[in-house]
Amino acid sequence: MNKYLLILVSAFISCTGPGKQVAEKIDYPVSINLNLSEAVEDSMHLSEIAREVEYIPLETTDSSIMGYFRNFAITKDYFLIVNELSVQVFDKNGNYINSLFNIGSGPGETAAYCIAVDESGGRVFVYNHKISDVKIYDFHGNYIKTVKQSVRHPGTWVYSIGYLNNNLLVHTTQRPHAKYLYSGIDLSTDSIRILCRNYRTYTKSQENQTPYSPYDYHYQITDTTFLYKETYSDTIFSVNKDFEQTPRYIINLGDRKLTWETWRECAFNLAGGPPDGYMVQSFAETESYLLMVLNSYKYPQMFAVYNKNTNSTSIFRNKDYVPSVREVYLKNDLDNLLPFPPMNKDGYLFYYDECLYSVIEATDFVKYFKSSPLESRISSGYLRSMSPVLSNITEFSNPVLMKVQLK
């Protein structure tokens, strides 16, 4: 098993909600066998893992209108939205607070690709992929400084950055000239700490080519540990603050596993078609579950749930699969308003404080909301109170955050 460290743009905090079942002490590592031939030809019902749904429209004003929604981070008080125009700050009700910077190349100006948040220190780290630098702001948008150390080495691409213990963590894509995939920058000394070297090999003819990159969102970070897996590895590791790591889950996909060798050959020969097999693209460990999205370049996604309390696994595949739209979604039988897509645009499950979040574009929200029966729109006191707000959303509004409270 190989040593890898993955990072995420925000910290996750666990809590126990009313009536929640907490798994008894588990002996790790846990081996999970996923027999994909047993996948249920249907979408999972949201009520199987969740108890309520909330909708948080992001306020739309002349100041808050956003471009392409890239990703986001969550703190105790704020949503920080990364888009092509800026990083915008909203409160937990979706009210617009401020934007962190102006787009440009002057002092204090930048363009955002991804962010990391130091919640206790009140700092936001913004990575600009065009010039490969990281600028630091406070939550009010005041520019603090620029990180001196470069976060990217030649021939590579930074996917994401994260923060832990005054270290800026950098996640680099899998490419031929990537010497390491994960590294840390000590913000006290601006020195680099290599966390994970790139041990994958390429043929001589492939070294000067740029393949399409694999999906690289297999990580989760809490206030005390990282959970991560390398794209084609079968092991999810747990890493503590001292960077000591131990295997936590071993995922067995059997003969349906997409191997590194299969991907490598197809990545440099697109005419040969997409590679066969599945991999765990994204996961989220909650108090009671390990949630997994299984992805394939060739077949529809699947959604798998490992229940810690019962030591059982369920796998679901959307039966109304559309080849051009392979994404998985869960049937919303809690309020029947719109389905819940657990994957966000950048390809990961977003879990925070025993909730899953998903970004619903306004055009999609309006389509589902208008087509839903009236009884669904007023099926609970919460929806009746939110009806005036939700009814005013148009296709030109900012996105809506769909928040699912887990059991």
For residue 73, what is the enclosing H or E element? strand 69-74
Residues 6+ apart with CB under 8 A from 245: 3, 5, 237, 238, 239
**pTM for the structure as a whole:** 0.84
- The answer to whether residue 8 is domain-embedded is no
CATH of the domain at 65: 2.130.10
Residue 155's domain comprises 30-406
pLDDT digits (tens, 9 = 90+) for 202-211: 777 777 766 6
Calculate the dihedral angle through the C-alpha atoms of 95, 97, 103, 108, rounding to the nearest 10 degrees.
-160
Beta strand residue intervals within 113-255, DSSP E: 114-118, 123-128, 133-138, 143-146, 158-164, 167-172, 180-186, 191-197, 219-221, 225-228, 235-240, 245-252
In the predicted model, what is the mean pLDDT of the chain?
A: 81
CB atoms within 10 A of CB 41: 10
**Residue given tokens 């005390």 in the structure block:** 224
CB atoms within 10 A of CB 104: 10
- Number of folded domains in the chain? 1
- The answer to whether residue 257 is domain-embedded is yes
- Spatial distance between the Cα atoms of 232 and 347, rounded to a whole number of angstroms: 16
Where does the pLDDT of residue 186 fall: very low under 50, low under 70, confident under 90, or very high at 90 and above? confident
Query: Can you give the pLDDT at residue 183?
Result: 75
- The answer to whether residue 20 is domain-embedded is no
- The answer to whether residue 294 is domain-embedded is yes
Whether 208 and 192 have beta carbons less than 8 Å apart is answered as no
**Residue given tokens 């897996």 in the structure block:** 229
pLDDT digits (tens, 9 = 90+) for 285-333: 999 999 999 988 888 889 999 999 999 999 998 765 444 444 788 999 9
| Residue 235 or 131, more confident | 235
- The answer to whether residue 261 is domain-embedded is yes
